[in-house]
Amino acid sequence: MYTIFKVPADKKDVVPKILSDEMISRQSTSVRDGDSLGFDEDVTYVLIEGSEEAVEKAEEMFGEEEVEALEDKEEVYDAIKKADEDAAAGVGTIFG
């Protein structure tokens, strides 16, 4: 299970606090700037992938900060996964 949050620039400071939560920190997470993913937006996308309980807790915590999860998230998910794979391939080349 996964969800993606679209965090406006003025709320970016809540991301580290939420990701440091004990339950959420044990999940797979990725934080990417919108423009680095090819989206022309001044936002940060936060992917949380893991247990249903942890995703629900993240939705609750981000909701308290008035940051909602994306409803149409497949395009952003694919872009984040591609960026993560590209980064891993680059590290493999360096240390390979």
Can you read off the two tokens belonging to residue 44?
């940060």
Can you read off the two tokens belonging to residue 83?
């960026």
Q: Specify the pLDDT at position 86.
A: 83
- The per-residue pLDDT of the chain, averaged, comes to 92
Backbone CA torsion sign across 86, 51, 3, 29: negative
Reported residue count of the chain is 96
Can you tell me the mean pLDDT for 76-94? 81
| pLDDT tens-digit series, residues 36-83 | 999 878 999 999 999 999 999 999 999 999 999 999 999 999 999 999
2-95 CATH fold: Alpha-Beta Plaits (3.30.70)
Neighbours of 37 (CB within 10 A): 17
What is the C-alpha separation between 93 and 22, in angstroms, rounded?
A: 33
What is the C-alpha separation between 92 and 96, in angstroms, rounded?
A: 5
Per-domain residue ranges of the chain:
2-95
| pLDDT tens-digit series, residues 5-23 | 999 999 999 999 999 999 9
